[in-house]
Amino acid sequence: MEAKDKAFLVKRTLNVRGRLVDLSQPQVMGIINATPDSFYSGSRVSDMEAIVERAGTMLQEGALFLDIGGYSTRPGAAEVSVAEEAERVLPAIEAFAKYFPEAILSIDTFRAEVARQALAAGAHIVNDVSGGDLEEAMWQVVADAQAVFCLMHMRGTPQNMAQKTEYTDVVKEVMEDLARKCQLAIRLGIHDFMIDPGIGFAKTVEQNYAILKNLAYFQGLKAPLLLGVSRKSLIWRPLSVSAEQALNGTTALHMHALQQGANILRVHDVKEAKECIELFKLLQD
């Protein structure tokens, strides 16, 4: 069955704390890094005024979701304590909930305790790069809060994932891992979740492109598909540029991802991603 023929089978709504979010048209998730260690310097914000300003700009440019993180997950990133991570993200979530009550807030963490506090502070989504693998308690935290869970594929930890890239069939193995996580979510009463194949996490450049070429395959899981390729090394390494020069390549891969069924683009550059979506929609009419 062709991707376009089975697309109608994919769940295209999320219940976000009683608010039904329609994903029949692709949406944008804006990245806000409350950390000095993000791989892309242009995404780093530290003081609260700058964080709130960045969030407001992203919402004005068309982001539906804001994803706030306080622990860099770039390859080889330094360890950060649970307390420090919480101190970085909780004030931002509280500020967003106050100033932007209509925004849908995502906490980017694999720590169950950080997620629990973030959900209590106003977050709606848990975006766990390990998809619940690094801390088993995460599953119950999400289930208890009836939050949306973003289930991503990753092997190992941010510190060692670059050494865990041996696959027999990367597309098949990532699909099987995400299928397992989807089934576990349903068993635990988590019915609103999305999947993310984890571009750049425990995968070589070649493996990342194998996944991108077969992205439509993941529609078989019948869950909304989130994709994060923004300014990552699979773009700037082949082009011999830097993350700061990788916006054009990011947009090219965004259009491909949309054509393959991506529902949410997780991005540093909201305006450009929204423009890409608008042109994609014209191609579908």
Residue 69: inside a domain, yes or no?
A: yes
The answer to whether position 232 is within a domain reads yes
> Is residue 48 scored above 90 in pLDDT?
no
Query: What angle, 0 to 180 degrees and rounded to 10, lies between the N-to-C axes of helices 205-213 and 247-259?
Result: 40
**Residue 39, in any domain of the structure:** yes
Q: Are 221 and 131 in contact (CB under 8 A)?
A: no
Nearest-Å Rg of the Cα atoms of the chain is 17
| Residue 7: inside a domain | no
* pLDDT-based confidence at residue 11 (cuts at 50, 70, 90): confident
Burial of 7 (0-12, 13-18, 19+ CB in 10 A): middle
- If one counts the domains in the chain, the total is 1
Give the catalytic positions in this structure.
232, 266
Determine, yes or no, domain membership for 31.
yes
pLDDT at 43 over 80: no
C-alpha–C-alpha distance, residues 37 and 81, integer Å = 14
CATH number reported for the structural domain that contains residue 128 in this entry: 3.20.20.20
DSSP bridge partners of 69 = 33, 108
Residue 5 reports pLDDT greater than 60: no
pLDDT of residue 79: 80
Is 68 part of a structural domain of the chain? yes
Which residue range is the domain that position 223 belongs to? Answer: 26-284
Whether residue 20 is predicted with pLDDT greater than 90 in this model: the reply is yes
- Has residue 4 been placed in a domain? no
For residue 158, the model assigns a pLDDT of: 85
Instruction: With respect to residue 11, please indicate whether it lies within any of the assigned structural domains.
Output: no
Mean pLDDT score of the chain, rounded to an integer?
Answer: 92
